Structure 1
Amino acid sequence: MGCNTSTTAVAPTTTVQPTKTAHSTMTVHPTKTIQPTITHESNKKDDAHLMYSQLFKEFLSQMSENDRSTVISFCPDLYTNDNLSDLISTNPELLNRTNIMRKKLIDENPTVSMGRLMLEMGSYDRAEYLYFKAIHQEKNNWKRLTVVYNNLANVYYKEGKYDKALTYYHKSLSIQQKHLPENDSSLSIDYNNIAIVYETQKNYDLSLQFFQSALMLEMKASKPDEKLIAFLNNHIGLIHNEQQNFAQGTSGSANNQLSSPQGIALDSSTNTLYISDTGNNRVMRYLSGASSGDIVVGGNGELNGPRGLYYDVLSNSILIANANAHNILRWVYGANSSTLVAGDSNGLSGNTSLLLDSPKDVKLDSMGNVYVADEDNKRIQFFLSGQVNGTTIAGVNQRCPSRLVICRCRTAVC
């Protein structure tokens, strides 16, 4: 587990071949010449040092002369005048590793690139120094400043200095919250980074709060990051497991409570769960990973004993078996109220083709036709799409499409 290294910075998407950087013309401290013997079986440690030295030269060449002099003075082990790119090009595996590492580390500010290189090498003191230098360089650019704060926080996280890491992750988040809409999905990375630190500290309540915030933002993104969503859901589950959050719940009417829930439906495209909260006469919606829901319909006298639910992906709506009101309702996403599909709008029960008696479940086929488990009439009613006049297709000695069915008390449609 680790924090996102690049945060809001965008790495190049094209493969960058090693470049020959110009030698510095300044006077530098004497350095040891790197003269490795390059073979395809060369020592991995030597290869890594060669790769880091090449990237060091590239990032160094992009700095001002004063900055180059300073960086060389405390990184003499990496500086060399050798033509490393030619050496690396003789080893295809090392060349590929160098290209990948360059993409991972490069930033528009070479000081940040160099800081990432030091972090990658585990040279935390050097990385910290470079990021503080970058903070001064980017102090008038809030977007760039958040990148630096996140990278500095990554250093402290790697060092196990979690309180310091939180300080700079929160600084980044605070700046972005001042400039971005509160539901901007780009904030999900900051929430995620903060959540990871709290999780590492075993502060599960705060960790869960930030993971859930990250998940909600990412789910609303125009192009959600499926890997991040999976990561967030996984950690939310792990935290619930750590907290042993699977004890018996307490009945109630708060948004994180239910009373005699009798039916569920899932929107698999977003993992949003709809629940018939029968005892509270409402239908609740729980976003993926959420521990609290919101009321989508009911709670105001509109529903009476809702039971079975069915999610219709084509219309982004749910069908509700409103049992004690003896009807079937449809709630369309975003609507303020539901509409009648079958049964009586005033709650009248009966056994005619227009009426129902305590319907307990409802299903929809691909043509939009509706099937209802009409419990107290001991029958299955079939309604053509858009029609309110039903036909009995099972129960009361009616013929099913393939066989005769006698139904004593059917409470669910298979």
Structure 2
Amino acid sequence: MPAPRPTTSGQPHPAEADGGEAEEFVRLHHGEHPDQPVPLTARLQQIRTQIDETGTYTHTADELVFGARVAWRNSSRCIGRLYWKSLRVLDRRQATTADDVHQHLGDHLRQATNGGRIRPVISIFAPDTPESRAPRVWNDQLIRYAGHRQDNGDIVGDPTYADFTATVKRLGWQAPGGAWDVLPWVVETDQDKPQLFDVPPNLVLEVHLTHPDRPDFADLGLRWHAVPAISNMRLRIGGINYPLAPFNGWYMGTEIGARNLVDADRYNLLPVIAEHLGLDTSSEATLWRDRALVELNVAVLHSFTQAGVKISDHHTESRHFMTHLAKEAKQGRTVPADWSWIVPPVSGGITPVFHRYYEEADQRPNFYLDDDAKARGKGGCPFGHG
């Protein structure tokens, strides 16, 4: 096997593919899809030979599609796995330049948005190999709003992304400075330094929030984007790592109305909404937070529906997850699940997913969030974790 060469960043290349994991994956693939053009024994021999000669191997198109879908099936923090077979897989392994990556990310948003009829999509770029380091995107999601620090310490926009916003400004981003500025993409390749790309505005579908019973709710000027596309998680299939494999489903309303717009380290809007609704905030006992939270979630679901943008409520998704559990049990498969992520952040106790325990297992293929990806997403050094 050729010796790993240094990258432009000075970092060593990753280790070779895991042969044992490769064999386990191929057996799984053939077990669930036995009508493969190459028999199992022959395919296993092909892979062993490729690993011996190059330190890695290449997934077939069918293996890539199957691996991506099963990675979603195995994702313990996702409540929406009933739809895992519907995942649209875009093979982008031939993309080599930052501009190539930029173009394909735009196409991902175009296909995923689908005029508001959101489709689950994953774009899989080249893997890490002993010969070359895979491309990466520093952003944790393809669409996120900037957080602009003011001289007095206040932040306009999303505070979680204040450090990342400062980083892209240093890289040359000319920021408008508003509360809803879509952050640019930072694309890193093995051949070049990180490059900045603005997200084409025509690819970002946004929904302005209104309320079915309170016309004045629109005066708050709230909005959110339609496609939740995670872009910094490593996809691992058969012992091979794909660090750039952005994927999306559609939003469950509580992700927006009980987390993104509500968390204290995000937009922290419950006090603003409570004041706008005229709620009594003099005591926690008035449950003003709960009442404001419910009305915000009503507004989110109402607004997306009125705009023709696909979204789901937490009660429906909870029932669908129970259906997924039943279907997987019939296939003799274990469904790993993290209770703290599966149970919705609103009215969890009255959803069926609340009243049971789940197994937590690291089943592969799967998605992983590494320290270097976390550092990139915070605007820090991706190798020194600073």
> Do the structures match in fold with TM over 0.5?
no
Q: Who wins on radius of gyration, i.e. which is larger?
A: 1
TM interval, short-chain normalised: under 0.3
Q: Taking CA–CA contacts closer than 8 Å with sequence separation of 6 or more, which of the two structures ends up with the larger relative contact order?
A: 2
